[in-house]
Amino acid sequence: MSGMFVHNLRLGAASLRRNVLLTALMIMSIGFGVAASMVTFAVFRAVSGDPIPQKSSRLFVPLIDNRGPQYNRHGEPPSALNYVDAMALMRAHKAARQTMLFPVGLSVMPDDPHRMPFKAVGYATYSDFFAMFDVPFLYGNGWGGEQDDARAPVIVISRALNQKLFGGSNSVGRQITLDDRQYRIVGVTDTWDPKPRFFDIFNGNLYADPSQIYIPFTYAMTQHIDTYGSNNCGSDGKRGDSWDSWLQGECVWISPWVELDDAAQVQAYRQFLDGYAREQRDAGRFNWAPNNRLRDVREWLDFQHAVPPESRISLSLALGFLVICLVNTIGLLLAKFMRRAPEIGVRRALGASRADIYRQFLAEAAMVGLAGGALGLVLTAMGMLGLGLVFEPQIARLAQLDASLVLLTLLVAIVATVLAAFYPTWRAAQVQPAWQLKSN
């Protein structure tokens, strides 16, 4: 059987050499079609992947309508919380884990006075952040709940920042100065940068550079550290003139996250949110029925249109292109196989069964597919190099030609070609031996 298969492949290779123009056309057609699909698929995969697959169904964004139907867009509550509601959720502590976060941008003052200060960006958040999002640590750990309560000036820095400031050595316990304030380093994260950055969609930082620092939310509040991201006061809101008026007002700027382990907890949390909104209504703050949302990571990415429409359009376009290339291949294979009707007639007359003809021609098609796949691979690699010219560098960087993509390219090429070959092969197998011999 395998000897026959090798024989068939040899016949295929010989036949391909016999008709160079047709063969070249087919290989090019498949190569281009596959390459276009693979390049756009790589981008699509990069931007539409689940950034935290192991937990995406257990992490939720709770949103509370603090604007009311008058000011909402399409009845949706704002995409973040104001300080009052954020604090209420933290105090209630109704989820297994919960955190609030907002971006901070602080100037790092190097110890060496000859080095220039530079901006480091990251998040002010709560201690649960690290466990909730599975943040890996190189040295030390995140801070604990007691440091949240104590409003302690502690900090977790990224591996890259640790490299820059401390040459990569264990800096846990050392001090660092940011914007004239001293922080004690408690942990250094390992390389960690989920793409898209699902936990900060509110600020549009989906593909931003990796964050470098994490400080306690509570400490940031004592120091009046303002958000480095968006502050949305709604169509009729006002920020007010002081720190306190801002905190007490209805401007939203805090991204909330809770971890809920099963459907019962999710249900309970929904009830808690509705109960809270009713309380606020009874207290006179809201004059509308509870209008809350609780979405998990995937629903949240979907709702916020985290996948750029560009990548979706280009993917469907490339798939359409692949279909055209396959139609083309069917036609070319048909031309190629039918040209050999006399040869088929002779083989059939000499005792080859229909199944033999099938095997021979499908093997030949597989060869074409393989060659097309090889060409497609080269074109895909070139396409990936060119991605930076086309897509935003942040997105292009994510799309990579890895082993799985190489395999997929070859597989798609071969499977597609063999599929395309079924009809032409069937036609070839229908050739009547006697008829062909007679006409010659």
Partner 1 sequence: MDILPILSTLRRHKITAFLVIIEIALTCAIVCNAVFIINQRLDRMSMQSGIDEHHLVHVLMADIGVTKDQKARSQEDLATLRQIPGVASVSSVMQVPFGNSSSNAGIKLDPKQNQPTLNATLYSGVNVVRTLGLQLMAGRDLMPDEYIDFDDVVRAAAAKDAKSVPHVVVITQGLAERLWPGQQALGKQLYISDWPLTVVGVVKELIRPYIENDAERSYSMILPMRESRGEYIIRTKSPQDRDSVLTAAVAKLKEINSHRVVLKKQTLDEMRHDFFQNDRAMTGLLVGVCIALLVVTALGIVGLGSFWVAQRRRQIGVRRALGATRSNILRYFQTENFLLATIGIVLGMVMAYGINLLLMLHYELPRLPVIYFPVGAVLLWIIGQLAVLGPAMRAAAVPPVVATRSV
Q: Which residues contact 109 (CB under 8 A, 6 or more apart)?
A: 117, 177, 178, 179, 180
Cβ closest to partner 1, residue 60 vs residue 253:
253
Say if residues 237 and 231 touch (Cβ distance below 8 Å).
no
Alpha-carbon distance of 362 to 368, in angstroms, equals: 10
The residue among 189, 93, 107, 196 whose CA lies nearest residue 148 is: 93
Q: Binding string, 3-42, against partner 1, x = CB under 8 A?
A: ------------------xx--xx-xx--xx--x---x--
Does 240 sit near partner 1 (CB under 8 A)? yes
Which amino acid appears at position 147 of this protein?
Q
Taking CB under 8 A as the binding criterion, the range among 2-10, 45-53, 129-137, 308-316 that sits at the site for partner 1 is: 308-316
Does 318 sit near partner 1 (CB under 8 A)? yes
Taking CB under 8 A as the binding criterion, the range among 214-222, 240-248, 287-295, 352-360 that sits at the site for partner 1 is: 240-248
Quick one: which of 236, 263, 283, 351 contacts partner 1 (CB under 8 A)? Answer: 236
Q: Which residues contact 264 (CB under 8 A, 6 or more apart)?
A: none
Cβ closest to partner 1, residue 95 vs residue 395:
395
The residue among 229, 219, 224, 228 whose CA lies nearest residue 245 is: 224
Quick one: which of 7, 18, 285, 339 contacts partner 1 (CB under 8 A)? Answer: 339
Taking CB under 8 A as the binding criterion, the range among 48-56, 190-198, 266-274, 329-337 that sits at the site for partner 1 is: 329-337
The beta strands (E) that lie in 291-384 are given as 292-296
The beta strands (E) that lie in 213-324 are given as 213-216, 255-259, 292-296
Instruction: Output the smallest distance, CB 245 to partner 1, in A.
Output: 6
Does 307 sit near partner 1 (CB under 8 A)? no
Residue ranges in 112-261 assigned as alpha helix (H): 128-132, 145-149, 159-166, 217-222, 243-248
Instruction: Find where tokens 């905190």 sit.
Output: 247
Does 149 sit near partner 1 (CB under 8 A)? no
Instruction: Output the smallest distance, CB 50 to partner 1, in A.
Output: 22
Cβ closest to partner 1, residue 56 vs residue 394:
394
Quick one: which of 34, 165, 391, 421 contacts partner 1 (CB under 8 A)? Answer: 391
Q: Which class for 13: exposed (0-12), middle (13-18), buried (19 or more C-beta within 10 A)?
A: middle
Alpha-carbon distance of 258 to 200, in angstroms, equals: 14
**Count of residues that interact with partner 1, criterion CB under 8 A:** 60
Cβ closest to partner 1, residue 309 vs residue 351:
309
Cβ closest to partner 1, residue 36 vs residue 188:
36
Does 112 sit near partner 1 (CB under 8 A)? no
Instruction: Find where tokens 């809201």 sit.
Output: 286
Quick one: which of 7, 18, 76, 107 contacts partner 1 (CB under 8 A)? Answer: 107
Taking CB under 8 A as the binding criterion, the range among 187-195, 211-219, 258-266, 312-320 that sits at the site for partner 1 is: 312-320
The residue among 382, 332, 379 whose CA lies nearest residue 32 is: 379
Alpha-carbon distance of 191 to 136, in angstroms, equals: 8
Is the Cα torsion angle 180, 186, 188, 193 positive or negative in sign?
negative
Quick one: which of 137, 192, 288, 423 contacts partner 1 (CB under 8 A)? Answer: 423
Instruction: Find where tokens 């099963």 sit.
Output: 262
Question: Degrees (nearest 5) of the Cα angle 140, 118, 216?
Answer: 40
Does 331 sit near partner 1 (CB under 8 A)? yes
Does 70 sit near partner 1 (CB under 8 A)? yes
Quick one: which of 53, 117, 136, 145 contacts partner 1 (CB under 8 A)? Answer: 117
Q: Which of residues 169-228 bind partner 1 (CB under 8 A)?
A: 179-181
Taking CB under 8 A as the binding criterion, the range among 10-18, 164-172, 254-262, 306-314 that sits at the site for partner 1 is: 306-314
Q: Binding string, 246-285, against partner 1, x = CB under 8 A?
A: ----------------------------------------
Cβ closest to partner 1, residue 25 vs residue 247:
25
Secondary structure (3-state) at 151: coil
Kindly report whether the peptide bond that precedes residue 196 is cis, defined as omega within 30 degrees of 0. Answer: yes
Alpha-carbon distance of 48 to 45, in angstroms, equals: 5
Alpha-carbon distance of 366 to 422, in angstroms, equals: 11
Cβ closest to partner 1, residue 89 vs residue 109:
109
Site residues (vs partner 1, CB under 8 A)? 21-22, 25-26, 28-29, 32-33, 36, 40, 70-71, 105, 107, 109, 116-119, 179-181, 234-236, 238-242, 245, 308-310, 313-314, 317-318, 320-321, 323-325, 327-328, 330-332, 334-336, 338-339, 389-392, 423, 427, 440
